[in-house]
């Protein structure tokens, strides 16, 4: 059982706008909201990195760039270039999508090399690295295998989904991912998390970061619950 304040809940959230038609005004709004609510990160397309990093300069809110997004169907070299470019433009965190074709081909050596390459590039610059599985395309065995690779390579997080696949996060996948990687790698749940009940359930299942475009709605609902019940914290049982 863990207890969290409202601010601690907000710090689990990656405030997200990954839409292809996002404007500078949209990015400005996203960053202003992240500052107001004290979210952990803004999750954005790689091309928006410099713009958002400048807006968030001097804060403890990270700029998170999505790499090879949303399909992951680029070479290791292309992903590495995107990663380095994002870091040079101010990214504090990198969320890259795995090559699902190579997973389907059981080319585990390729996937390990891909992960090690991106993780090394990130960690050499003190940047966090998250690995997006896109679970809706994967079998349970494939999810477990990717988590086993991550357990060896040790990115900072493994992540359920882009939010652009057929489905998003589910509790069973979060539990499987966390049970497989253990304590040295964290789990980010993303995709379809739109209310406070789902948010709390994902934390209970073992997620330690939540990617959502509904962060304001979630935190406002938790604030209302805490105000009505005269609480300063909410307890979250760990069910995994």
State the alpha helices, DSSP H only, in 11-107.
24-37, 49-55, 76-88, 100-104
Reduced to 3 states (helix: H, G, I; strand: E, B; else coil), residue 208 is coil
Q: Which two tokens stand for residue 239?
A: 């069910």
Rounded Cα gap, residues 9 and 193, in angstroms: 14
Question: Is 140 an annotated catalytic residue?
Answer: no
Inter-residue contact 13 to 39 (CB < 8 Å)? yes
Question: Is 29 an annotated catalytic residue?
Answer: no
Rounded Cα gap, residues 18 and 70, in angstroms: 9
Q: What is the C-alpha R_g of the chain?
A: 17
For residue 225, count CB atoms less than 10 angstroms from its CB and return exposed for 0-12, middle for 13-18, buried for 19 or more.
Answer: middle
Catalytic residue among 14, 95, 173, 198: 95
Rounded Cα gap, residues 65 and 83, in angstroms: 8
DSSP state of 60: S
Catalytic residue among 14, 186, 188, 198: 188
Question: Is 95 an annotated catalytic residue?
Answer: yes
Catalytic residue among 40, 79, 130, 159: 159
User: 60: closest CA among 107, 100, 7?
Assistant: 7
Q: Catalytic site residues?
A: 95, 159, 188
């Amino acid at each position: 059982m863990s207890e969290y304040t409202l601010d601690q809940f907000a710090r689990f959230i990656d405030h997200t706008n990954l839409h292809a038609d996002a404007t500078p005004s949209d990015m400005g709004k996203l960053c202003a909201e992240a500052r107001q609510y004290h979210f952990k990160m803004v999750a954005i397309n790689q091309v928006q990195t410099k713009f958002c990093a400048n807006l968030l300069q001097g804060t403890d809110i990270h700029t998170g760039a999505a790499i090879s997004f949303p399909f992951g169907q680029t070479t290791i070299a292309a992903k590495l270039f995107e990663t380095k470019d994002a870091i040079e433009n101010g990214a504090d965190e990198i969320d890259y999508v795995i090559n699902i074709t190579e997973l389907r081909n059981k080319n585990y050596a390729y996937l390990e090399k891909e992960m090690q390459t991106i993780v090394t590039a990130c960690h050499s610059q003190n940047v966090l690295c998250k690995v997006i599985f896109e679970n809706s395309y994967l079998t349970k065995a494939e999810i477990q295998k990717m988590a086993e690779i991550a357990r060896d390579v040790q990115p900072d997080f493994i992540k359920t989904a882009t939010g652009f696949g057929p489905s998003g996060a589910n509790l069973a996948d979060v539990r499987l991912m966390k049970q497989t990687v253990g304590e040295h790698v964290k789990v980010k749940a993303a995709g379809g998390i739109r209310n406070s009940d789902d948010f709390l359930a994902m934390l209970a299942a073992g997620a330690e970061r939540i990617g959502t475009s509904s962060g304001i709605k979630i935190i406002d609902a938790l604030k209302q619950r805490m105000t009505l019940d005269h609480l300063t914290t909410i307890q979250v049982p760990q069910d995994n």
